[in-house]
Amino acid sequence: MRPTDAAVVFLDFDGVLHPVGVPAIDENFCLVDDPGLFVWRPILERLLAPYPMIGIIVSSDWRRLFDDATLIRLLGPLATRFVGVVESYGTSRSEEILAEVKRRGLNGWLALDDHPSVNVAQARDPRFIACEPATGVSAVDVQRTLSERLTTLSVDGV
């Protein structure tokens, strides 16, 4: 696959758009109506607003439970940015993301995730932005880092 100049954010849900542990599915793997889900989505909407050309690839494990139409619905106002899901499977989330970057030929990307492997990967690649599971994108330091990295993506023309 040839490299693309399209810029994307790989997005996790649990621990990024809401705290880890918020009930999301019932015993039949059906989505529950919980007001605690996606409470920080408006923060991400605000941070991405100046960059309408940046897409979203869902890297969350939710991609294994729900079809694209459901994921798009869950993204709410961010739905128009949906590019797809991580189709690569690896031993860690960071490996899955890197494999997907290669598979899609991406040049401009960021990954927003609370997975421990992303925390480790962040030390060697600043495109990985690690979140704390309890605060996700609501943390001021995560917002600052994401904002700075989005500016870099935009300035670099990707």
The structural architecture, per CATH, of the domain 4-155 is 3-Layer(aba) Sandwich (3.40)
Confidence of residue 89 (pLDDT cuts 50, 70, 90): confident
Beta-strand pair 4-11/106-113: parallel
Write b or e for each residue in 10-30: b if 16 or more Cβ atoms lie within 10 A of its Cβ, otherwise e: bbbbbbbbbbeebebeeeeee
- Indicate if the pLDDT at residue 157 is higher than 90: no
* Torsion of Cα atoms, 145 then 136 then 63 then 33, to 10°: -140
Q: Supply the pTM of this predicted model.
A: 0.92
- Whether residue 13 is predicted with pLDDT greater than 80 in this model: the reply is yes
Interval 131-144: pLDDT, tens? 999 999 999 999 99
**pLDDT at position 24 over 90:** no
* Whether the predicted pLDDT of 98 surpasses 80: yes
Q: What is the pLDDT of residues 103-123, one digit of tens each?
A: 999 989 999 999 999 999 999
CA atoms within 13 A on the CB side of 101: 17
d(CA 57, CA 96): 12
